[in-house]
Structure 1
Amino acid sequence: MVDETGLRAEAERKLRALAGDHATLRDDQWSAIRALVVDRRRALVVQRTGWGKSAVYFIATALLRARGAGPTVIVSPLLALMRNQVDAAARAGVQAATINSANVDEWESVHDEVERGQVDVLLVSPERLNNPDFRDLVLPKLAASAGLVVVDEAHCISDWGHDFRPDYRRLRTLLADLPPGVPVLATTATANARVTRDIAEQLTATTPGAGDTLVLRGPLERDSLHLSVVRLGTAEQRLGWLAQTLHELPGSGIVYTLTVAATHEIAAYLRDQGHEVAAYSGQTDPAERLEAERDLLGNRLKALVATSALGMGFDKPDLGFVVHVGAPASPVAYYQQVGRAGRGVERAEVILLPGPEDRDIWAYFASLAFPPEPVVRATLDTLPAEGTMSTAALETRVDLSRNRLDMMLKVLDVDGAVRRVKGGWQATGRPWAYDTERYARVAAERAAEQRAMLGYLSTTECREEYLRRHLDDDTARPCGRCDNCTGRHRPVEVAPNALNSARERLHRPGVDVEPRRQWPTGLKDLGLSGRIRPEQAAEPGRALGRLTDIGWGNVLRGLLAEGAPDGPVPEEVFDAVVKVLSAWRWAERPVAVVTMPSATRPALIGTLGERLAAIGRLRHLGSLTYRNGPPGRQHNSAQRVRALQATLAPPAADLSGGPVLLVDDRIDTGWTMTIAAALLRDSGAPAVLPLALATTT
């Protein structure tokens, strides 16, 4: 018979060590701890950010370890989250270690410490679960010896969730292999009723006889958050408003953006205006990310300008504000991000600055969804019945980008159709069905979330209640704090100097375009492998702007949109391109212009080339041509190069007089410019300078 009174008193002591002398367990915290330690069952805790979900698993770990249980395994999605959790574990008297992509050199020693019983908590990134060595050699030992398994940010398990990650689905294997009686805890702050049901069903279904999952779902009210929306017509107004308002916002905080390009653009502008800020994204070097996190935690920065890579688990209780320049694609994702603020202060400001480009960015990310069935079947047919094929080799045979191919293979791995092994992938031969209905429902759900986000921007009702209702929080009531509840809407005036400086920054034309240096794999039959020979390579190029920029990007997206009418290059665009050329510090000035052929925008590219030749007094040598018609659209590098190599031809002109300016409307993968430059170099051009209106990189 368990002495529950004594157990709760012990749990309270652990909580005070973790959270301070005055901390006491919430009822649901104790219910979860009791379910894990006494009943050894599975539980799902859906509670607001800052509620104390990590306290549940650290206290449960301490209690279970004191009773002879094995170490706790926590699957945790982000390095920032792991660092915070290791620190928190130490305060609870729990020894924690991590296995992730940033500490490869420590893996062996961590494994040894786990086997010797010196580690109470092992934090594992979800990507490790599908690493062949880890899956085959380490995971079975962890499953056999674990005293508790924790799935943090559990909404990532569900493809209904706003941040579904295929690697999380590997948890089915871990959970299914657990011995009877090993408790499991899943936690999240952002799961609506559908996602909650899906997670609970997955936890229950993985192990027959494990019993129903205990679901503890609480109200999501955050009484420190003061939500507001500020609608401004142009990108320069939004940036100018942000620069002047940042001085007034309390403490330090986060400025969220939708794209990596925007983090750099906005951070550079804010630094010009005297603000201490840093850019932060998944592409930021890990050491720089860690330094930026520490600077924000230490209040040495006013803000991090970040993508959603700075999200789940970043723990700064005194974060004073969260500003979004651009709206996330769902109310659930938005509430999850703003939940970073106000956890340890009485008031935190939450401001959304939506832009017209938001929907374009949502559409781009939606285009990366699970591929259609013919593409999936083609991939399965390409894998040999016996043997292994690498991702790089598959990419040459399947018309998908590397990111989408990786994602699809991970899903197929979880479904049992393929298996990841050393060196690549193997087909399992198991029957597999394409769940057309489910994928369609998920796509419809995403579209509904986007409509709901647009509704948040325009609602005149309580903003917090609106968000909580979309998280199926039945306790939601008007907050009395947001701009709609109080009637106090933030002024939209922007000082002329702030507006002018923002306009100058955003309309400063020109971004660098680095040339391709290496051929894709799988093209040896074309004589293309390894590094691109210097005598065939393009020089570093330029583009007027990125399609994802919030400055020139707005103009270029409209000009180059699918279905947009073709016509002469607009005057403002041409003038900006001339400025790009005048600022180009090339080693040798071009003497001629060559344009790329186009099936959709011949007038745009043609007039741009002709006018650049005229204003620069350059020879206009005409256009490359397609011998066998346009190459169509390919999604991966090898297939793109093959298609271009089969049809692209240089102009019939003398190219030997000096460097050639090669003009196109946009650069996506960079392979069109690469093949064109190689053809021009082979035809006598001593150098090729790529120039495009837009780049997507």
Structure 2
Amino acid sequence: MTDSQSQNQRQLARQQLCQALAQPLADFHPGQWEAIDALVNRREKLLVVQRTGWGKSMVYFIAARLLRDRGSGPTLIVSPLLALMRNQIEAAERLGIRALTINSANRSDWSRLTRAILNDEADAVLISPERLANDEFVRTVLLPITQRLGLLVVDEAHCISDWGHDFRPDYRRLVNILRRMPPNMPVLGTTATANNRVLTDISQQLGDINIQRGSLMRETLALQTLRLPDQAARLAWLAEHLPELPGTGIVYTLTRRDAEQVADWLNQNGISALAYHSDSVAEGFADANAYRQHLETLLLTNQIKALVATTALGMGYDKPDLGFVVHYQAPGSIIAYYQQVGRAGRAIAYAVGILLAGREDAEIHDFFRESAFPDEIQVNAILHALDQSDGLTVIELEAVVNLRRSKQIEHVLKFLSVENPAPVIKDGSRWRRTPVAYRLDHERIRRLTLQREQEWREVQAYIDSPDCLMRFLATALDDENPQPCGQCARCLRQPVVGESASPMRVVQAARYLRRSELALECKKQVANGAFTVYPFRGNLAACLRAETGRVLSYWGDAGWGRRVAEDKRAGYFCDELVEALAEMIQQRWCPQPAPVWVTCVPSRLHPNLVPDFACRLAARLQLPFVSAVIKVQNNQPQKSQQNRYHQCRNLDGAFAVGTALPTGPVLLVDDMVDSTWTLTVVAALLRQAGSGPVWPVALATTAGGGDY
């Protein structure tokens, strides 16, 4: 290509950029045209590492447009999140690109969209990496178009790397797909969050690939870190200082429950905020995806001060004028933090990023690391079960192996299915064992776990760093020439935002945490075939179901949870907890029809702990205590039962109820609740024996791990 032709093409590409941005004077950022040129004219494999907001999507959409205009086939974009896909499709439409996506949110349109793809009516096709795990999609949609694809884009390419902070196993399937594509097809990987170790891993998986790196320094972002003593102090800080922060923004939490709690607290303090996580739902919306899209729009149009979000609001959410990102808890790595805080200040002169470190952070990240990889017992149990069968569905596996469905069974199957060669394959809804001999790679797991522990230590070093915070981040990401930013709290030698909250507000936050009980919903449907002693089948009859109860706290949490944990270990629940539960029942819950007697769930392991507490609670409520439930059979600890089938089976025949019961509504007391199956079964037995409505209540839930 001559210089004149190159200039003409650059001018055409620039016109498309102006059209996409609706800015007639827009021009390329340094490196953007060079990347487009490499893909379109030299058909390179290219990995672009540029900071958030640089415009990586413009590179691949303009390249897709230019290639399509030359007669090339469609561009395939592998993108990890629905929110990211929505933004990408909107950007594509501004360039006149016919973009479509096949994902879990548009299942009813799959047939129409498939026809459009096969008939070459789409310029760009966006899919999630999980689509690559669907053999039918690969066979009927992807393979028929691989030989005519014009460009492959691997967005958020760090997800392909074991070393990446957001490794997605299904990205591994890309390597097999690549082998079926034209050898001279251009490939683009994009990321803002990859150090040298991750880049090397990506290069090895995608093949011989050129790397374009830009500076990761963010001149518009003022950073600060704060260690505050507890959750009450952090909630108080948010209530007092969030209104001072510029514009609108995001408060990141590590768990769904914290997202809900922080959003509720902010609203109680006059700050408009909504929770955003993978299970966010609301009446009036077709599904969780529709509601999350609504939440994104509210923030995008500045109708709320903040979204309080888990990492479900992450890669690809594009709000150029986002004024702040606050972390209620520390993320697990510098790479993850850089990506999240980098949402702020993309197209404005000043934005703020604040990291609030909490005492529970380390415990949460310990859980993340421990559950990141399946253990050998889980793997062997599933492989043995499949060996002994002609294929099993996930539901059938639940009855055979004592493992949780989503957190363990599906996790192990996903892990095994992306191994190469894979010891399991999915055939329709059934999983089958392959002839591949398999041994878990303990050395790889050990190596990755040690690396993640080191990444966590690096986060702690960032929080306590006496030097420029932005330079710390850039150095950790292997930026070639990091410089002091001049506007973080360390460079300024003074806080960007106030470092503390008033004692009065901290007291209010502590009181709020101690009044943050949650609804307790018992089960309505039992596991098929699990009960043989009790006559429970399918849906429990309405007359056997427990009412919606209450749990005072989360185990070990900052409200009452820490005290509950201490007293459980000591073997005696103090009178302060009696008073707290009584206050909650009488002043805030107020169940109707009101309980007229109290009973409890018995235990042979701790025969006096719960009955003693329930007796004192009954006395405080001025109600009679009746020891109506008897433990008649030793069973395994319920917490050791990992799925619905085994939880039900373990309780079958374990309890009996006396014959002379009071007839009115009853308060059913337990100390800990996890799956709620014990309370479900005991409540059904009480109703079966003639009691009135059963109101379950517990001191703490230990189900927090599933909430991460």
Q: TM-score range by the shorter chain?
A: over 0.9
Gaps of 5+ in 1: 205-211
TM-score (norm 2): 0.91
Question: More displaced, 401-410 or 136-145?
Answer: 136-145
C-alpha distance in 2 between matches for 1:27 and 1:494 = 43
Cα 1:446/1:650, change in 2 over 3 Å: farther
Q: 1:278: Cα distance to partner?
A: 1.4
Q: How does 1:266-415 map to 2 (within 5 A)?
A: 266-284=262-280, 285-384=288-387, 387-404=390-407, 405-415=409-419
C-alpha distance in 2 between matches for 1:90 and 1:549 = 47
Q: Which residue of the partner structure matches residue 546 of structure 2?
A: 538
2:236 match: secondary structure: helix
1:605 to 581, 606, 610: 610
1:91 to 91, 94, 98: 94
Is residue 520 from structure 1 mapped to residue 527 from structure 2 by the alignment? yes
C-alpha distance in 2 between matches for 1:82 and 1:335 = 21
Q: 1:602: Cα distance to partner?
A: 5.6
Q: 1:610: Cα distance to partner?
A: 2.4
C-alpha distance in 2 between matches for 1:275 and 1:266 = 11
C-alpha distance in 2 between matches for 1:162 and 1:677 = 44
Cα 1:558/1:458, change in 2 over 3 Å: farther
TM-score (norm 1): 0.92
1:566 to 555, 570, 574: 570
2:359 match: secondary structure: coil
Q: Which residue of the partner structure matches residue 642 of structure 2?
A: 635
C-alpha distance in 2 between matches for 1:650 and 1:462 = 65
| RMSD after superposition | 2.4
C-alpha distance in 1 between matches for 2:528 and 2:430 = 14
**1:388 touches 1:423 (CA, 8 Å); kept in 2?**
no
C-alpha distance in 1 between matches for 2:242 and 2:361 = 22
Q: 1:288: Cα distance to partner?
A: 1.8
C-alpha distance in 2 between matches for 1:160 and 1:598 = 47
Q: How does 1:112-261 map to 2 (within 5 A)?
A: 112-204=115-207, 212-261=208-257
C-alpha distance in 1 between matches for 2:615 and 2:147 = 71
The amino acid of 1:375's aligned partner reads Q
Gaps of 5+ in 2: 281-287
**1:596 touches 1:662 (CA, 8 Å); kept in 2?**
no
Give per-residue Cα distances to partners, 1:238-275, cap 9 Å, x unaligned.
Answer: 21221121221111111111111122211122112222
**2:628 touches 2:661 (CA, 8 Å); kept in 1?**
no
Cα 1:614/1:253, change in 2 over 3 Å: same
1:102 match: secondary structure: helix
1:278 match: secondary structure: strand
Is residue 463 from structure 1 mapped to residue 465 from structure 2 by the alignment? no
**1:650 touches 1:683 (CA, 8 Å); kept in 2?**
no
Q: 1:653: Cα distance to partner?
A: 6.8
Q: Which residue of the partner structure matches residue 12 of structure 1?
A: 14
Q: Which residue of the partner structure matches residue 262 of structure 1?
A: 258
1:159 match: secondary structure: coil
**2:252 touches 2:311 (CA, 8 Å); kept in 1?**
yes
2:262 match: secondary structure: helix
Cα 1:159/1:684, change in 2 over 3 Å: farther
Q: 1:595: Cα distance to partner?
A: 3.1
Give per-residue Cα distances to partners, 1:272-308, cap 9 Å, x unaligned.
Answer: 2222221111111222211111111111111111111
1:186 match: secondary structure: strand
C-alpha distance in 1 between matches for 2:372 and 2:686 = 37
C-alpha distance in 2 between matches for 1:503 and 1:454 = 26
Q: Which residue of the partner structure matches residue 651 of structure 2?
A: 644
Is residue 596 from structure 1 mapped to residue 592 from structure 2 by the alignment? no
Q: Which residue of the partner structure matches residue 421 of structure 1?
A: 427
Give per-residue Cα distances to partners, 1:88-143, cap 9 Å, x unaligned.
Answer: 11222322112111112222222222233332111112222223431331121232
Question: More displaced, 660-669 or 443-452?
Answer: 660-669
Is residue 693 from structure 1 mapped to residue 695 from structure 2 by the alignment? no
1:543 match: secondary structure: strand
**2:276 touches 2:308 (CA, 8 Å); kept in 1?**
yes
C-alpha distance in 2 between matches for 1:109 and 1:331 = 43
Q: 1:38: Cα distance to partner?
A: 2.5
The amino acid of 1:398's aligned partner reads V
C-alpha distance in 2 between matches for 1:11 and 1:369 = 43
**1:397 touches 1:639 (CA, 8 Å); kept in 2?**
no
Give per-residue Cα distances to partners, 1:441-478, cap 9 Å, x unaligned.
Answer: 11112222222222222221221222222222242232
Question: More displaced, 97-106 or 602-611?
Answer: 602-611
Give per-residue Cα distances to partners, 1:32-82, cap 9 Å, x unaligned.
Answer: 323322232322212110111111111110111111111111111222111
C-alpha distance in 2 between matches for 1:16 and 1:277 = 34
**1:262 touches 1:549 (CA, 8 Å); kept in 2?**
no
Number of corresponding residues:
684
Q: Which residue of the partner structure matches residue 283 of structure 2?
A: none
**2:516 touches 2:559 (CA, 8 Å); kept in 1?**
no
